[in-house]
Structure 1
Amino acid sequence: MAKRRQFGKVRQLPSGRFQASFIDPSGQRQNAPDTFTRKADASRWLALVEADLSRGTWLDDRAGSITLGEYARAVLRDSQRIGPRWRETCERNMRLHLVPLLDMPLRAVSAMRVREWHAAALRGKGGKTSISQTYRFLRMVMNTAVRENVIARNPCQIPGAGVVKAAERPVATPAQILALVDAITPRYRTAVLIAAWCGLRRGEIAGLLTEDVDLTAHTITVRKNRIELLATRKAFDADPKTAAGKRTVSIPPHVMPIVRLHLEEHAGKERLFISRDGSPLRGNTLYQAFVRARRAAGLDEFTIHDMRHTGQTLAAQAGATMADLMKRLGHASMAAAKRYLHAVDGRDAEIAKALSDLASHGDAARLPKRIVVGA
């Protein structure tokens, strides 16, 4: 009978004890955490490891001993899916909220410890939004640890902990949009109009170039998103998060005259929006100008992001489909677009009334005259 190939390796140390080792899935040799008095015990440990590997339940003992803080910082450093703004936010939230867990070995972060940490954080002075962001980041780090065979199960099991239900934002009327445009510094009027009627984000507006505006086709193309880091005050243009973020949006005809005027009087040589000193427009500069304008117009309930929200809601009311809204929003999923379609949900009663109006004029619809409203 052929001899079964042995998994791993057992060797006797000068002390007389036995050391077991094996090659892990990454190709690295790992030693058992302890040595053994008998060779049979070392072989038995290797058999258990081999069984765990075959079942897909093996955990990396070396990686599991590092602290949560070390592992979380490594995930932040290495993940290609984390953008610079979110990385900065996670680093700040780690300092603000995750300190009680950071020095714990990764394997020691249990579901109970996460629950206790989260409850204590909510009792503290931190904002619910940043605590929710911190929990989502912790959950992502632990999901990575599960994939990398460091832990067996994600300990972040609190229902709804990573979700913050945002308050319903106000929708501006066309008259209110006009009041804000009239009140803001002239060089930023077009920015408000593009936010309100084209649905661009503040970073997308700040990242626009003059060549992104097509005066013939009446379109504006989003190619870049302006990123600003609070800690270092660095600013740079980056690609949108998803391919859907790069898009061309039609400009409503009533906005075009203001866009043309802006190109003539306020645009830079390359960038569509610039500050007074000619430098690229900073998002905070636009924000502060908008705050002054809303105060002057008596519309303090609105934020600059509400203009984007307004534009998409009005587009939904104008008959935009889910696909239309996704394109204008620059979203790859339907989740965001659904928020705006709720604006037309209440029109069902209007549709029913219109159907009755149609029925009351049956001859026009080739319906029997006896169909009468209220019959």
Structure 2
Amino acid sequence: MAKRRQFGYIRKLPSGRFQASFVDPAGVRQYAPDTFKARPDASRWLALVEADISRGTWTNDQRGKELFGDYATSVLRDSSQIGPRWRETCERNLRLHLVPLVKTPLRSLSPTVVRQWHAEALRGSGGRTSIAQSYRFMRMVMNTAVREELIQRNPCQVPGAGLVQAKERPIATPAEVIKLVEAIHPKYRTAVLIAAWCALRRGEIAGLLVSDVDLAAGTITVRKNRVELLKGGTAFDGDPKTEAGRRTIAIPPHVVPLVRLHLAEFAGSERLFVSRDGTALRGNTLYQAFKRARAAAKLEHLTFHDLRHTGQTLAAQAGATLADLMRRLGHASMVAAKRYLHVVDGRDAEIAKALSDLAEHGDAAKLPRSITMRS
């Protein structure tokens, strides 16, 4: 019976210890990280490596020595899926929150190390949102390392570490929207109305062109998102994050006349909203104008983004379905749109309250004749 050929190669060194090596799937000779006291020890190590290769779980120990900071930087540099705003955020978090890990080899980032880093970060002075962003970035980097076979599994196993429990956002009433419109500079009134009644983001509003408005059809089409970076003050028109972000939205009829007035008095030759010098409106300019308006209207609890939340909530109250909300939001996922259906779902709580009143009074005549949604 022919003897099975041994995987790898073992040689005895002048020191008397044994060195084990093998040729990896890429055709490169790899050496054991340590020498062995006895030949059987070297043979057992080779047998484990052979088994890992046959199962497809073998990783290159030498490549796994690459430092997390260096590898994360290269992933940021080379990934075409990372937008400029998210890249800037990740670079900042790498400097601020992930510093304790930047000199750690990839293969040394165990679930315990990651858990301890996360717990220590939460005990520090950093914000919960930026820490969650840092964790998501690290998880993405380590997923890349798994795909590139530098490590066997992702060590980012902390439940919920990448999530931030969003607080319930305030909802502006139609009367409060009017107060803001009256308080803000006339050239920005339409921006407030579009945010509140069409649920556009600030960047989407700043990116609108005159050609994106169709008064005859009563629609606004979102094609671009104005991106502004903190570093260097760079600004440019970027594509929406997903194809769903490109969308055409019906303008409520009561807003159309004000959009028409804006086009006649304040719009630029190409841009729907412009700065004093006629260039594209900067998001911060709109934000500062909004801050002054909310102070004058005594509505300091509202943010500009709350207007988008208001628009979707009012749409849900008006009977918009989940699909309707997703389309108006420009979201490919239903997760965000579901947040606004709690207003409609609130009918069940009102029905339950009415049933409790019936049990308490024992008299159906004392109950309200109808159950209506709260405005």
Q: Shared fold by TM > 0.5?
A: yes
Shift of residue 33 of structure 1?
3.9
Residue matched to 2:193: 193
Q: Confirm whether residue 180 of structure 1 aligns to residue 180 of structure 2.
A: yes
Shift of residue 3 of structure 1?
8.2
Residue matched to 1:29: 28
* In structure 2, C-alpha distance between the alignment counterparts of 1:307 and 1:273, rounded to whole Å: 18
Which range is displaced more, 263-272 or 146-155?
Answer: 146-155
For residues 133-155 of structure 1, the C-alpha deviation after alignment (integer angstroms, 9 at most, x for no partner) is: 11121122222222322222322
Q: Secondary structure at the match of 2:290?
A: helix
Matches for 1:55-94 after TM superposition, within 5 Å: 55-94=55-94
Tell whether the 8 Å contact from 2:20 to 2:32 is kept in structure 1 after alignment: no
CA 1:58–1:187: 2 relative to 1, 3 Å: same
Letter in 2 for 1:233: G
Q: Confirm whether residue 299 of structure 1 aligns to residue 299 of structure 2.
A: yes
Equivalent pairs counted in the alignment come to 357
Tell whether the 8 Å contact from 1:222 to 1:247 is kept in structure 2 after alignment: yes
* In structure 2, C-alpha distance between the alignment counterparts of 1:191 and 1:28, rounded to whole Å: 61
Tell whether the 8 Å contact from 1:9 to 1:22 is kept in structure 2 after alignment: no
Q: Secondary structure at the match of 1:61?
A: coil
Matches for 1:97-176 after TM superposition, within 5 Å: 97-176=97-176
Tell whether the 8 Å contact from 2:19 to 2:32 is kept in structure 1 after alignment: no
CA 1:36–1:127: 2 relative to 1, 3 Å: closer
Letter in 1 for 2:28: R
Tell whether the 8 Å contact from 2:146 to 2:154 is kept in structure 1 after alignment: yes
Tell whether the 8 Å contact from 1:244 to 1:330 is kept in structure 2 after alignment: yes
Letter in 2 for 1:113: V
Tell whether the 8 Å contact from 1:213 to 1:220 is kept in structure 2 after alignment: yes
* In structure 2, C-alpha distance between the alignment counterparts of 1:224 and 1:7, rounded to whole Å: 57
* In structure 2, C-alpha distance between the alignment counterparts of 1:303 and 1:36, rounded to whole Å: 63
CA 1:45–1:253: 2 relative to 1, 3 Å: same
Letter in 2 for 1:234: T
Residue matched to 1:226: 226
Tell whether the 8 Å contact from 1:207 to 1:237 is kept in structure 2 after alignment: yes
Q: Secondary structure at the match of 2:54?
A: helix
- For normalisation by structure 1, the TM-score amounts to 0.87
Letter in 2 for 1:295: A
- For normalisation by structure 2, the TM-score amounts to 0.87
* In structure 1, C-alpha distance between the alignment counterparts of 2:5 and 2:211, rounded to whole Å: 67
Letter in 2 for 1:20: S
CA 1:154–1:170: 2 relative to 1, 3 Å: same
CA 1:243–1:2: 2 relative to 1, 3 Å: farther
CA 1:122–1:353: 2 relative to 1, 3 Å: closer
Q: Confirm whether residue 95 of structure 1 aligns to residue 95 of structure 2.
A: yes
Residue matched to 2:357: none
CA 1:279–1:9: 2 relative to 1, 3 Å: farther
Residue matched to 1:317: 317
Letter in 2 for 1:32: Y
For residues 23-51 of structure 1, the C-alpha deviation after alignment (integer angstroms, 9 at most, x for no partner) is: 43xx3614214586898876665443232
Letter in 1 for 2:30: N
Q: Confirm whether residue 335 of structure 1 aligns to residue 335 of structure 2.
A: yes
* In structure 1, C-alpha distance between the alignment counterparts of 2:236 and 2:14, rounded to whole Å: 60
* In structure 2, C-alpha distance between the alignment counterparts of 1:202 and 1:6, rounded to whole Å: 66
Letter in 1 for 2:62: R
Tell whether the 8 Å contact from 1:12 to 1:19 is kept in structure 2 after alignment: no
Q: Secondary structure at the match of 1:20?
A: strand
Q: Secondary structure at the match of 1:57?
A: coil
Letter in 2 for 1:331: H
Consecutive unaligned residues in structure 1, runs of 5 or more: 355-371
Q: Secondary structure at the match of 1:205?
A: helix
Tell whether the 8 Å contact from 1:85 to 1:229 is kept in structure 2 after alignment: yes
Shift of residue 160 of structure 1?
2.0
CA 1:30–1:210: 2 relative to 1, 3 Å: farther
Tell whether the 8 Å contact from 1:20 to 1:43 is kept in structure 2 after alignment: no
For residues 76-128 of structure 1, the C-alpha deviation after alignment (integer angstroms, 9 at most, x for no partner) is: 12222211111100110111111111111111122222222222212221111
